[in-house]
Chain A
Amino acid sequence: MKFAVVVNEGPYTHQASDTAFQFVKAALDGGHEVMRVFFYHDGVNNGTRLTTPPQDDRNIVNRWAELASQHELDLVVCVAAAQRRGIVDPDEQKRNSKDANNIADGFRISGLGQLIEAGIQADRLVSFGD
């Protein structure tokens, strides 16, 4: 079965990103495909590499990135939501003349069309949010 997952909240405030991670991990462990994880609303904040949680806590951003590298997960951060909230990749940095970028490994910034496309192509779309 082909799943797509939507994450609508950032890390560390709501449980949404944690639950989404556990769901995706269980789906992959169960032999399913996860064709995309789409980060929208404050969910785009899952994609900053500048996060520094305390050492005794989980690193939500790295955890996504590691899962992505193990399973070739497509982690997509919505560009419109990212621009509003200051999540920047090298292309966006150049395009909007910013002095830095902060996108984490394993994430990419793209349009809302990627969410619609996931809805069309996946067998099941599962949303996590607040």
Chain B
Amino acid sequence: MSAILHTVNKSPFEKNSLATCLRLSLPGSHILLIEDGVYAAIRGGSMSDDLKRAMSDRTVSVLGPDLRARGITEDGLVDGVGVVGYDGFVHLAAESSKVQSWM
């Protein structure tokens, strides 16, 4: 069975959804930050190190439209974080075994 796509839509500064996702996701899974979840990926933010650690065995992406809506540029992201559009979101969902939404 291929790996899970985890989505996180909460800012890590508001709720523990990303923290819970990080501790309950298995190696090989993909974590997609959407909506306010994208704030976690700002380089220099307090989640940077957690995301870097996660990226040692998982993939982390952000939803580009949500990034741009919030005035964050791709070059301001934690190194290694990918950017996808809604089509990429659909593709990731289709390629994964299932989607788990951490809200």
List chain A positions with a Cβ less than 8 A from chain B. 1, 3, 8, 15-16, 19, 22-23, 25-27, 29-30, 32, 123-130
**Beyond A124-B93, A124-B94, is A26–B101 a contact (Cβ under 8 Å)?**
no
Q: Which residues of chain B from 76 to 103 have any CB-CB distance to chain A below 8 Å in the complex?
A: 85-87, 89-91, 93-94, 96, 98-99, 101, 103
| Complex-state Cα separation, A115 to B81, whole angstroms | 34
Are B98's CB and A22's CB within 8 A? no
What residue of chain B has the Cβ atom nearest to residue A8's Cβ? Answer: B103
Q: How many whole Å from B85's CB to the nearest CB in chain A?
A: 8
| Contact, CB under 8 Å: B86 / A26 | yes
Q: Write out, one digit per residue, whether chain B residues 4-17 have a CB within 8 A of any chain A CB (1) or not (0).
A: 00000100000000
Q: Which of B90, B91, B101 has the most CB of A within 10 A?
A: B90
Docked Cα-Cα span, A29 to B85, in Å, equals 13
Chain B residues positioned under 8 Å from A29 (CB to CB): 87
Question: A15-B9, A19-B35, A126-B93 provided; 18 other pairs, C-beta below 8 A?
Answer: A1-B94, A3-B93, A15-B35, A19-B34, A19-B66, A23-B86, A23-B90, A25-B86, A32-B90, A32-B94, A124-B98, A126-B101, A127-B101, A127-B103, A128-B101, A129-B9, A130-B9, A130-B103
Taking CB atoms, residues of chain A closer than 8 Å to B27 are none
Interface pair A30/B35, CB less than 8 Å apart: no
* Dominant SS among interface residues on chain A: mixed
Q: Give 14 CB contacts A-B under 8 Å.
A: A1-B94, A3-B93, A15-B9, A15-B35, A19-B9, A19-B34, A25-B86, A26-B87, A29-B87, A124-B98, A124-B99, A125-B99, A127-B103, A128-B9
CA distance A105 to B2 in the complex (A): 39
Please, which residues of chain B bring their CB within 8 A of the CB of A15? 9, 35-36
> Does A26 lie within 8 Å of B103, measured CB to CB?
no
Q: Assuming the A-B contacts A22-B65, A129-B101, are A27 and B35 also in contact, with contact meaning beta carbons closer than 8 angstroms in the complex?
A: no
Q: How far is the CB of A66 from chain B (nearest CB, A)?
A: 17
Question: Do residues A23 and B101 form an inter-chain contact, with CB atoms below 8 A?
Answer: no
Return chain A residues, CB-CB under 8 Å to B89: 23, 26
Known: A126-B101, A129-B103. A26 touches B90 (CB 8 A): yes
